[in-house]
Structure 1
């Protein structure tokens, strides 16, 4: 059975009524004819395994299960084949996924001892995992029933059981997830699926006809809002807006589009939407409007962006540069892209709307530096327009910043330096020509100057300074002090700087700040311990722990795979280093299990390349085996040995 046929089976299982080939085709991004051909193949296969697909004229296709035991056995075989191609589950998340599938497909009771043997784990481990499994099943009103001497078996409504199977037996990508929330909406609102499809079609048609540019996730959110609004209107709940807001909204083109959508929805669902609900739907359209022009000049930008948006964009980029030194403040694409993003986003903030970000986990994992910069952006927005920015929105802002960081990497050429000399420009020129003859294209000499003109150096355009006189001032770039007549030792110092690249996360780890196999039971106890240990050896701001919690409130720093990387909301330490603590048992960290805590302490006004350190941490996050090895180590030497092997 190929992947597409497998996906069709998943979609059919998500419904207890017929669905059209057009719907499945739209979901899987293929033609209806392809779907019809695939359904013939699927039906032929299923008829040997206790099920078949009914074709209902004018309605669509429906999965019919004649022999539940035989069909479940068929799914079990598919699961076993999948598991045989993979390694045994190691992390808690992998074990929970495995157990969920086993219980959903089990034809009989499952004994814990047998499951322990299957997964090569202890009974205490599986009992911990079962708590999470039970919580997950409770979302579907399903429960695990225990029978003495027999074991555990999943129990509950068959329709909900099949929906859970469609969700967890099959891998679901973001692009084919519409079934999930449409099914949920049908259940909570008692709306027939064909009516939901009709409302969806109306939205798509009006958006296309009126050339309103919406992202996929924005369309989904608009659709979900309309259906939930129907439910709340039926229950006697209404949204309210102040008159001034309503007047402003009525002037917008999007309000007329909302009127058309609502009129059609009222006919389909036989309900009357109050004017406030129409306005609220307009806000969805306004809040997700995207301007798709590129190569805009500064005057074009001023015509598109209101003054408030321009000011916000500048404040955000300036504060990010002040706090993180990413050198992206002159990136015009960032200024325009972020400005165009903030223009419609302000509408969302104004009306308290938060959009979901299906890429959030990937953004946090793959662009952690950009995400931290976006947290700073969120702080600016909260201060300037007095709104609360959630991590979904922070994730979208991070995409713009991440793109700027990547563009900077592409533009990186030879390192640039400025030469400073106290004994006259003649000496500076001597140093310049010597450096050119030795390093050639490896180095770009941006200029030369006397010591007293130090403040005139364009620090944003250079990487370091070569100076024949000691410089006591704290500058934005490193200073290499040399003799006027460059010696071999001086040239070696410069060469070391040109070729220096910190490739190891070990550079940021000190034995004094690695604590292994601790017994802390809460996030609070762990963080207090780590901060106390640092304060015993170096000075920290009195509110250091508060700043860590402030960062956690913006977006939890638990990355999955048992790892959390907490840190203060702004850089506060005297140097950059990691404080690491592993625990004997996982603790709850904002709903995720955590056993490896890495407190990130960043030098205030520092210039180190934090991305290198983040990449080292991400290599750990992405490898469950490494995490398990690190958690099980009992001494610093073994701990570092594992990290070195990872980088080899």
Structure 2
């Protein structure tokens, strides 16, 4: 008992910091190559992560760990960042002989998530010249201009009427908001908008621009952004008595139909080996350790007869299969599902739907509004 619990002398933190710095740099270099991120360029992030992990290793060797009340929510709502943290802590275990707890993994994930928030803000700040095209260029155009300037405080924002497309072209915008299709071709991303924008529209604009690929008509459609990630072809009612069998069946279907790359199912099982994706109120969100699908899809399976595995009930399974450039949409979807699992009445309603259309109608209601 004494041997197991006595604090061991491992020398000063500085004795392994240099090696740790090299290991962290090598790890995030691989992550940047895999996910097309820019962790390696962020000196503040690297410095804070090194400091945190140096102290973490020291604490774990001394059998001290902290609780993290946000760890479970981070695991669900920032799945990609949590997956990176899982792989990072696996590297620490291998090289520094420490068992990193689930709560401590959550703290590490916070560092990666903070950097990604910084990348998102940087992307919005990259738009310097923004053109707004309205029918008249009058009062409503000025109101939209004020709203767009609140999103892009450092950009030059100008309004144009539909008849001023030559002036718009001369302005050389790097982003255009318009209420109608343009008659001239202008080389700049376009987002179609309504005559009046509300607060949800502004939130949605940020989400749209943080995605690598987006539908320019998203803002004027009634359906939320994630709607296109679901399909009737990947919606089913099933009978099963093993979560592993459900994962294998759904994963192989996504592979066979050209959505998940070969080995997609294996990556889901690898993710399960770290932490189970059976969450609250019977909602399950299996996903691969690495996000790199061929095509976007969320496969849904509703259990005809829910069952309990490892003390947790399984009622409905959302298997996520997204391309690597859908980091922001990944977060939007998982936050929506996290909101769902907090509302047991909606979970019960979903388990009793008769069709794909009925499920999607309920999904739109959760959280109060179509744009969330």
Provide the rounded CA distance (Å) in 2 between the counterparts of 1:355 and 1:596: 34
Give the 5 Å matches for 1:226-625.
237-239=1-3, 278-280=6-8, 306-347=17-58, 353=63, 355=65, 357-359=67-69, 360-382=71-93, 384-385=95-96, 389-409=100-120, 413-416=124-127, 488-491=183-186, 494-496=189-191, 499=205, 500=208, 503-516=224-237, 518-538=238-258, 540-604=260-324, 609-625=329-345
SS at match of 2:313: strand
Measured after TM superposition, the shift of residue 401 of structure 1 is 2.1
Instruction: Render the CA deviation track for 1:592-634: whole Å, top value 9, x for unaligned.
Output: 2221111111224666642222222222122222211111112
Deviation at 1:313, TM superposition (A): 2.5
Structure with the bigger percentage of helix: 1
SS in 1 for 2:106: helix
CA contact (8 A) 2:255 2:261 kept: no
Deviation readout 1:339-372 (Å, 9 max, x if unpaired): 1111122235667x57353423243245444323
5+ unaligned residues in a row in structure 2: which ranges?
Answer: 134-144, 157-173, 176-181, 194-204, 210-217, 219-223
- CA–CA separation in structure 2 for the residues paired with 1:278 and 1:557: 35
Report the CA distance shift for 1:590/1:400 in structure 2 as closer, same or farther (over 3 A): farther
Contact 2:77 2:334 (8 Å CA) reproduced: no
Contact 2:85 2:105 in 1 (8 A): yes
Distance 1:539 1:368 in 2: 19
Residue of structure 1 in register with 2:361 after alignment: 641
Closer, same or farther in 2 for the Cα pair 1:308/1:494, shift >3 Å? same
User: How many equivalent pairs are there?
Assistant: 301
CA gap 1:375/1:586 in 2 versus in 1, 3 angstroms:
same
What is the CA-CA distance between 1:319 and the residue it aligns to? 3.4
Q: Is the 8 A contact 1:357 1:395 kept in 2?
A: no
Contact 2:68 2:106 in 1 (8 A): no
Contact 1:315–1:380, Cα closer than 8 Å, also in 2: no
Report if aligned partners of 1:391, 1:554 keep a CA contact under 8 Å in 2: no
Larger Cα-atom Rg: 1
* Distance of 2:45 and 2:249 partners within structure 1: 40
- Alpha-carbon displacement from aligned partner over 1:497-541 (angstroms, at most 9, x marks no partner): 89546653222111111113x211110121122123223322644
Deviation of residue 395 (structure 1)? Answer: 1.2
Does the residue aligned with 2:3 lie in a helix, a strand or coil? coil
Aligned CA-pair RMSD: 3.8
Is the 1:558–1:592 contact (alpha carbons within 8 Å) kept by the matching residues of 2? yes
Is 2:226–2:329's contact at 8 Å kept on the other side of the alignment?
Answer: no
Quote the Cα distance in structure 2 between the aligned partners of 1:390 and 1:543: 28
Contact 1:354/1:392 (CA < 8 Å) preserved in 2?
A: no
For each residue in 1:287-336, what CA deviation from the matched residue of structure 2 results, as whole angstroms up to 9, or x when unmatched?
A: 9x9xxxxxxxxxxxxx8982112113323333333334454443333212
Aligned CA distance change for structure 1 residues 349 and 608 (closer, same or farther; 3 Å): same
Instruction: Classify 1:555/1:354 alpha carbon distance in 2 versus 1 (closer, same or farther; 3 Å).
Output: farther
1:240-281 deviation digits (Å, cap 9, x = unpaired): 6xxxxxxxxxxxxxxxxxxxxxxxxxxxxxxxxxxxx6544x
Report the CA distance shift for 1:346/1:367 in structure 2 as closer, same or farther (over 3 A): same
Distance 1:488 1:590 in 2: 60
Matches of 2:47 and 2:60 in 1, distance apart? Answer: 20
Select 1:631's aligned residue among 351, 357, 365: 351
CA distance in 2, matches of 1:363, 1:608: 14
Tell me the SS of whatever aligns to 2:279. Answer: strand
Any conservation in 1 of the 2:267–2:289 contact (CA below 8 Å)? yes
TM-score normalized by the length of structure 1? 0.41
C-alpha spacing 1:239/1:581, structure 2 compared with 1 (3 Å):
same
> Within 1, Cα distance between the matches of 2:155 and 2:25?
30
Q: Using a 3 Å threshold, how does the CA distance of structure 1 residues 560 and 308 change in structure 2: closer, same or farther?
A: same
SS at match of 1:571: coil
Alpha-carbon distance in 2 for matches of 1:307, 1:385: 13
Unaligned runs of 5+ in 1: 1-236, 241-276, 290-302, 418-434, 446-478, 481-486
SS in 2 for 1:531: helix
Query: CA 1:631–1:605 in 2, change beyond 3 Å: closer, same or farther?
Result: same
Q: Tell me how far apart the structure 2 counterparts of residues 598 and 632 of structure 1 sit (CA, whole Å).
A: 16
- Rounded to whole Å, the distance in 2 between the matches of 1:574 and 1:328 is 24
- Structure 1 residues 144-155: aligned runs within 5 Å: none
